[in-house]
Amino acid sequence: MTPEQVDLVLEGIERMRPRLPLVADAFYAELFGRYPQLRPMFPADLARQRAKFADELRALVVALPDLPAFLDSAARLGRRHAGYGVRVAHYNQVRTALIATIAAEMASVWTEEHEHAWTVAYDMITEAMLLNLR
Ligand code: HEM
């Protein structure tokens, strides 16, 4: 991930900050619209989940410039996710829904560079979450 890509996602997460609860809402709507089979993995009431997801996504993005802290948080989150039954294929589905949601949220400024930077950031998070599962 280049320093410019890190800057783009950091700027993006700050820009979205006041609307992150709404973005998380839109993300789950997008995810379950595309992949309804994932819905039963989550609690019936998504209110707390939305807030936790938004907070964690922001914390991971903000930690990107501090690689050891980033890897540590992501790996711990990944270990918990293995316990929730989350598998590699699920990460691709979440990426599709998350990038589509962020693209819609940032539509007025969104470019190919944003798309690429967010995709790389998401993939870094995923790879770190999948590290050391054994
Ligand atoms: C950027 C990647 C992701 C982030 C930041 C994230 C964040 C979170 C957070 C903060 C929680 C609350 C519990 C905890 O902290 O352990 C959670 C729970 C959960 N996540 Fe994720 N997640 C991500 C990817 C995924 C993926 C790919 C799936 C697959 C469908 C998934 C499914 C779940 C499930 C099933 C729960 C538990 C719900 C429950 O039973 O309470 N997450 N996630």
pLDDT digits (tens, 9 = 90+) for 21-54: 999 999 999 999 999 999 999 999 999 999 999 9
- Per-position DSSP letters for 58-102, written without gaps between them: HHHHHHTTSHHHHHHHHHHHHHHHHHTT--HHHHHHHHHHHHHHH
Distance of alpha carbon 27 from its chain centroid, rounded?
A: 9
Q: How far apart are CA 130 and CA 68, in angstroms?
A: 15
Domain range enclosing 81: 3-130
**Residues contacting ligand 1 via CB (< 6 Å):** 38, 41-43, 49, 52-53, 56-57, 60, 77, 80-81, 84, 86, 90-91, 94, 125
pLDDT in the model for residue 133: 77
The string of pLDDT tens digits covering residues 69-90 is 999 999 999 999 999 999 999 9
> What is the tally of structural domains in the chain?
1
Taking residues 104-133, report their average pLDDT: 95
pLDDT in the model for residue 81: 96
Indicate which CATH number applies to the domain containing 26. Answer: 1.10.490.10
Taking residues 58-76, report their average pLDDT: 96
What is the residue-averaged pLDDT of the chain?
96
Ligand 1 pocket test, candidate residues 84, 118, 122, 126, most atoms within 8 A of CB: 84
